[in-house]
Amino acid sequence: MADEQVKLTLVEKLGRVDRRIIFLLMGVAVLIPLLIHYTTTIPASLIVQDLFDKVESLPPGSKVLISFDYGPATEPENQPMATSITRHCFEKGLRIYMISLWATGPRQATELIDGIITPEFPGKVYGIDWIDLGFKAGGQGLINTLLSDFTAMYTTDVNGRAIAEFPMMAGIKSLRAFDLIYCVGSGQPGNKEWIQFAGDPGRIPVGGGTTAVMAPQLYPYYPKQTVGLLGGLQGAAEYEAALMVKYPKYKTMSRVASEKMGPQVSAHLVIAAFIILGNVTYLVERRRQKKRQ
């Protein structure tokens, strides 16, 4: 009996942990990964892996349209998505066409060019491997027009040079010329518009990434209308992980989303552990009470 009593109080104690201990562990769980720059590798979920596999399946020379439909406000979430797809496309020898439905988009594209393309892929030639076509107003109306006639809207690149100068623009008559449309979005116009006005009517594969806030509204389009989706920081980190598995050289390079996910993962695990602890002790206590009755 005495033995039982001691055990009981232990279980009871575990069922009523002082909240300050929880607070302390949460603080540590967030602080430590930040201090040691811990990066996690989160296995890609199906919705992300499908998108990765789609890019992986494209033959060299395929055309990928990346639409920068976001601004500085959501940069922490969106920029890593643009970085990963760019790295992946160039590894596979695909061609990248950048456009933007948001006036704030070209700035983000420039950031990508200066931060990733120029330093990491010096061998890739502007106009042959990639091109920046800039921003055009119109949202869904623009997409609609591009679907039937791309060159009606884009006669020059972002710097005002005629597209005829660029070999990679030859044969781009409509959106149907692209093998994948990849929208990095954060609202309207964005992923939904690309799916509804380009993907669905033109039967063009559409994928992309969006912020965590927008993601739940886009899940219903998967897998019928969208190839895959990166939801928030987590989706971005999963793509980084998938890229790293396939191309190990990225293990040593900056993986922004994965770094930011470090504190997230450890903190989530702490919470999950406490939920499990609470339930296990609850069940044990209940069983003991029943026995006693």
Partner 1 sequence: MVTIGIMRYLGTVIALLAVLAIVLPVWADEVPLAPSDFRAFDSPSDHGGSIDLKWQRSPDDGAGGNIVTAYEISRSATPDGEFSQVARPLKGVTAYSDNGLTDGTKYYYRIAAVSAGGLSDQVSAGPAVASQQWFNKKRANLLVVACILVFAIAYYIYLGAKGRDLHIRRIAGLEAVGEAVGRATEMGRPVLFIPGIQDMDNVQTVAGITILGEIAKMTAQYETRLEVPVSRSIVMSTGRETVRQAYLEAGRPDLYSDDMVHYITDEQFGYVAAVDGIMVRERPAACFYLGAFFAESLILAETGSSIGAIQVAGTAMPTQIPFFVAACDYTLIGEELFAASAYLSKDKKMLGSIKGQDAGKAVAMVFIIVGVVLVTLAAISGNHAVSRAGEWIKNLFALRM
Partner 2 sequence: MKRTIPLLITFAVGLILIIAMFIPHDPFFDMDRNFSIFYDVIAVFAFILGGGNLLRVHLNKVYLKRRDWKYSIVTVTGFFLMLLAGLLKIGVTEGWSGNFQGTGSLFKYLYDCTFQPLSSTMFSLLAFFVASASYRAFRAKTIEASILLVAAFVILVRPTPLGYYLTFWLPDPLKFLTISNLSTWILAVPNMVGQRAIMIGIALGIVSTSLRLILGIERGYLGGE
Partner 3 sequence: MEAQPILTSPFAASLGMWIGGLLTLMILSFLYRDNPFYKFAEHLFVGISAAYWMVVGFWTTLIPNLIARLWPSHMGGILPSATANKPELMYVIPLIFGLLMLARLSPKASWLSRWAMAFVIGFAAGTNFTRYLQSDFVSQIHSSIAPIYSPGMSVMGTIGNVFSNLVIFAGLLGALIYFYFSKEHKGVFGRTARFGIWVLMAAFGATFGYTVMARISLLTGRMDFLIKWIGGIFT
Q: Cis link prior to 223 (omega < 30° from 0)?
A: yes
- DSSP helix, strand, coil percent of the chain (3-state; round to 5): 60, 10, 30
Is the CB of 201 or the CB of 282 nearer to partner 2?
Answer: 282
Characterize the bridge pairing of strands 95-100 and 206-210. Answer: unpaired
Residue 50: exposure state from Cβ atoms within 10 A (0-12, 13-18, ≥19): middle
Based on the shown chain and the rule CB under 8 A, indicate whether residue 274 belongs to the binding site for partner 2. Answer: yes
Min CB(47)–partner 3 separation in Å: 15
Min CB(164)–partner 1 separation in Å: 5
| Residue 32 binds which of partner 1, partner 3, partner 2, none (CB < 5-8 A, kind-dependent) | none
| Residue 164 binds which of partner 1, partner 2, partner 3, none (CB < 5-8 A, kind-dependent) | partner 1
Residue from 9, 118, 151, 254 binding partner 1 (CB under 8 A): 151
Min CB(196)–partner 2 separation in Å: 17
SS3 category, 248: helix
Min CB(106)–partner 2 separation in Å: 26
Based on the shown chain and the rule CB under 8 A, indicate whether residue 273 belongs to the binding site for partner 3. Answer: no
Based on the shown chain and the rule CB under 8 A, indicate whether residue 236 belongs to the binding site for partner 3. Answer: no
Residue from 153, 158, 177, 253 binding partner 1 (CB under 8 A): 153
Min CB(36)–partner 3 separation in Å: 11
Residue from 39, 40, 84, 108 binding partner 2 (CB under 8 A): 40
**Binding-site string for partner 2 from residue 160 to residue 199, where x marks contact by CB under 8 A and - marks none:** ----------------------------------------
Strand ranges inside 42-102, DSSP E: 63-69, 95-100
Based on the shown chain and the rule CB under 8 A, indicate whether residue 28 belongs to the binding site for partner 3. Answer: no
Q: Which residues pair with 210 in a beta bridge?
A: 231
List, in order, residues 6 or more apart from 220 with CB less than 8 Å away.
none
Tokens of 56: 């992986």
Nearest to 81 by CA among 65, 92, 66, 103: 66
| Residue 34 binds which of partner 1, partner 3, partner 2, none (CB < 5-8 A, kind-dependent) | partner 3
| Residue 277 binds which of partner 1, partner 3, partner 2, none (CB < 5-8 A, kind-dependent) | partner 2
Q: Using an 8 Å Cβ cutoff, are 186 and 211 in contact?
A: yes
Characterize the bridge pairing of strands 130-135 and 206-210. Answer: unpaired
What is the rounded distance in angstroms from the CA atom of residue 143 to the CA atom of residue 135? 12
Based on the shown chain and the rule CB under 8 A, indicate whether residue 283 belongs to the binding site for partner 3. Answer: no
What is the rounded distance in angstroms from the CA atom of residue 257 to the CA atom of residue 72? 16
